[in-house]
A and B are shown apart, each in its own frame.
Chain A
Amino acid sequence: MLEEAIYSISNHFTQLIVFLGFVLLLGIIIYIMTGKFDIHKKTSMYCGLLTGLNKKQILALCVILIRTFCIIYAVTIYSKNIGLSLVTIFLIDCIFILLSPKKILFEGINIIAQLIFIYLINVLKTYTLEISNDMHVEQISIVLSAFMIIYTVYFFLKNFEEIIRKKEKVRKNKKSLKKKNQKHQNTTTKLSKNKNA
């Protein structure tokens, strides 16, 4: 069992290397964009997006990034043993559900649908490579892959927006709490002044 698992992981070694390269590249780009903070430049917007996140939000951000990468990789690069990729995507999505448990039903259906779709694309690619180089089947698999990429990117941006909005909600809640506390303090000081008078 362990040997099979190690063998499966070794088959996906390229994916790990590509992912490391992708993360490194992303890190360099973000560093270049946000390294020198200038309020007059558009890059200050990116700084604003990424600052003030709590640990849960950072983890959620990482999870959706890894998930998007894994799905796009699984759909674009053919692998005969798609099992490990599907298990990885499933586990990553489970972590995402744990971070936002309110949406468990919607996310659960979404995950299962995505996994089945990726598997079907793989079946079509296997057909073109091993059985018959049918042009129709190849065209259909390309169209479905493109749809899956757009679908994944859409949900990445949607989840990213939700994570950032939570940060804004937390900030707004903190601000309104502060205002309430101040008002309360002001009324208590007025009352005490009136009493003294």
Chain B
Amino acid sequence: MKKENIFKILMVLVLIALIVVVSVYIIKLDTEEIENHSFYQYFGGRKIEYEGALNITQKEGITQLQLQNANIQLDSTPVYYEDIENQVLFPEDMALVIPNQNGQMYKINRFTNVYQKDDIIYAEYRDNQNELTNSFIYDGNDLYFFIQNTVLTVDGTNYEIPPLSYVIVSYQNSVEIYNKQQDTYEIIPSTSTNVTASTDQYSINLSLDSMKYGEKEQLLLKRVDTLKSINT
């Protein structure tokens, strides 16, 4: 075989080797490994706890939690750390809604950790850290995650929602409230089309997925994947 042909073949082999290495790297970008923590989630009012090393992967639009004995498919329900106070992980892309900035919405990437430190809420994704103020997080469907004290009104009854709690509103069906401070989960049957959450600066109609701030009103974008990432 001529020397030049050998060199050509070597170049192609190097390319193939690089393809393998880069493919593995890209797969790892879609994987989050969290070791030696205790976690929990609430599903339908029931607390599910996880222990040990966790592996969360995202493949073909499906986020899976790989435990020792089982694989659990995750939705946008936040995963709370049991052993770290006031910290939560989002398994899916979420929208950060900032009413003060003309209702601007940004994407919070899946595998972002949101935590409270010295009364300030931060969102951390890999090396990017962002401070969250006067805003809330929305999954594009029915889940609203609050980072400040909010008052939820359901059929005329007010509920205090502390930071790092979330609410799931099924239209004309029920309202589910997870209170982080008290670690309680409440399911309220409601056919109301006017379930609202409000602060002194804005109010949200959780039934219709719309927001009101000042004199402006807007619908919330459902396609979270089309939003610009808060980390870019």
Contacts of A109 in B (CB 8 A): 12
- The answer on a CB contact under 8 Å between A120 and B128 is no
Tell me, yes or no, whether A133 is within 8 Å of chain B by CB. yes
- The answer on a CB contact under 8 Å between A133 and B231 is yes
Of B14-22, B96-104, B133-141, B150-158, the one contacting chain A is B14-22
Docked pose: A127 CA to B232 CA in angstroms: 10
Shortest distance between the CB of A60 and any CB in chain B (Å): 17
Contacts of A110 in B (CB 8 A): 12
Residues on B lying within 8 angstroms of A by beta carbon are: 4, 8-9, 11-12, 15-16, 18-19, 22-23, 25-26, 29, 109, 125-128, 229, 231-232
- The answer on a CB contact under 8 Å between A120 and B109 is no
Contacts of B22 in A (CB 8 A): 117, 120, 124, 140, 144
* Between-chain CB contacts (< 8 Å), 19 pairs: A106-B12, A109-B12, A113-B15, A117-B15, A117-B18, A120-B22, A124-B22, A124-B26, A128-B232, A130-B229, A131-B229, A132-B231, A132-B232, A135-B127, A140-B25, A144-B18, A147-B18, A155-B11, A158-B4
- The answer on a CB contact under 8 Å between B26 and A132 is no
Residues on A lying within 8 angstroms of B by beta carbon are: 106, 109-110, 113-114, 116-117, 120, 123-124, 127-135, 137, 140, 144, 147, 151, 154-155, 158
Picked from A116, A133, A144, the residue with its CB within 8 Å of the CB of B128 is: A133
Docked pose: A123 CA to B23 CA in angstroms: 10
Contacts of B4 in A (CB 8 A): 158
Interface residues of B, dominant DSSP: helix
Q: A132-B125, A158-B8 are in contact. Are A137 and B29 (CB under 8 A)?
A: yes
Q: A109-B12, A132-B125 are in contact. Are A123 and B26 (CB under 8 A)?
A: yes
Docked pose: A71 CA to B126 CA in angstroms: 32
Picked from A117, A134, A155, the residue with its CB within 8 Å of the CB of B19 is: A117
Shortest distance between the CB of B76 and any CB in chain A (Å): 17
Picked from A106, A113, A120, A154, the residue with its CB within 8 Å of the CB of B26 is: A120
Residue on B with the closest CB to A119?
Answer: B19
Residue on A with the closest CB to B230?
Answer: A132
Shortest distance between the CB of B198 and any CB in chain A (Å): 32
Contacts of A113 in B (CB 8 A): 12, 15-16, 19
3 interchain residue pairs of minimum CB distance: A132-B231, A133-B232, A120-B22
Docked pose: A130 CA to B232 CA in angstroms: 7
- The answer on a CB contact under 8 Å between B15 and A151 is yes
